[in-house]
Amino acid sequence: MVGEDFAAQLAAAQGGSENAFAVLWRDANPALLRYLRVVAPEHAEDVAAETWVQVVRGLPRFSGDEAAWRAWLFTTARRRLLDQARLRKRHPAEPLDEISAADMPRTAGADQIAMENIATESAMALLSRLPEQQAEVILLRVVAGLDTDVVADMLGRSPGSVRVAAHRGLRKLATLLSGAGVTL
């Protein structure tokens, strides 16, 4: 979260400051990718890019606090996600040939980076085992930092149903963790 400097950073970004916009982007983009990698793992990068392009175009007209900023960002991502789903339904893409892990390009610190981020990757993998609605609600609440009412507004559901879905997801996550003996 940006915190108290959010308003200043937003105003600077709306005035054309690249540094201010970089601050906003570095704060929100990881959460956005984590959300998208759980909800749409195959097209997370593409949807994230389209989301940011649209946000950049609408940035001068945006007004609100950091919660509203995040709500706007994830709402835009979700709409782009639905558009992608419709597009894939009309024009299904043929998958490319699978490349084995040994053939994947590697960088010097790839192994180290993977070890450092294994907890995050494991948590996202665990959330992927939850029902989609429960996982999405938990991600929006935890990763995006949105409250129940905002998430309910985004999903078009009541706050009570959003709360129930989130609790059910947490219980199931606990069951999964206790039964599988997973240690994050």
Partner 1 sequence: MPDSFLPTAWGTPPFDERDLEALLSGEAADIPVALRQVAEALTALRAAPMFAELRGEATIMAEFRALAEFRALGLREASRPGGLARTLELPVAPSALAPRRVARHRGRRRRNGRLLSRPAAVVMGAAAAAVIVAAVTLAVVEMPGHNHHLVLSSATSSAGAHPSSHGSTSPNLAARGATPARTPTPTPAPGPSPKQSIASRLCTEYYGNFVHPQPRSEWSAEFAIFRQLSERAGSPFRVFSYCKPYIASLFPHGYPWASQQQRSSHQAAAGSSGQGSHGQGAPSGAPQPSPSASSSPGQGNQGGQQGSQP
List residues near partner 1 by CB under 8 A: 16, 18, 21-22, 25-26, 29-30, 33-34, 45, 48-50, 52-54, 56-57, 60, 109, 113, 116-117, 119-120, 122-124, 126-127, 138-139, 141-143, 163, 166-167, 170-171, 173-174, 177-178, 182-184
| Secondary structure percentages of the chain, helix, strand, coil, to 5 | 75, 0, 25
- What is the smallest separation between the CB atom of 117 and partner 1, expressed in angstroms? 5
Q: What is the DSSP letter of 144?
A: S
- What is the smallest separation between the CB atom of 108 and partner 1, expressed in angstroms? 12
Ranges of H-type helices in the chain: 6-14, 18-39, 44-58, 66-90, 110-116, 118-127, 132-142, 148-155, 159-180
- What is the smallest separation between the CB atom of 67 and partner 1, expressed in angstroms? 13
In whole angstroms, what is the distance from residue 2 CA to residue 88 CA?
35
- What is the smallest separation between the CB atom of 173 and partner 1, expressed in angstroms? 5
**In the complex with partner 1, which residue's Cβ is closer, 6 or 134?**
134
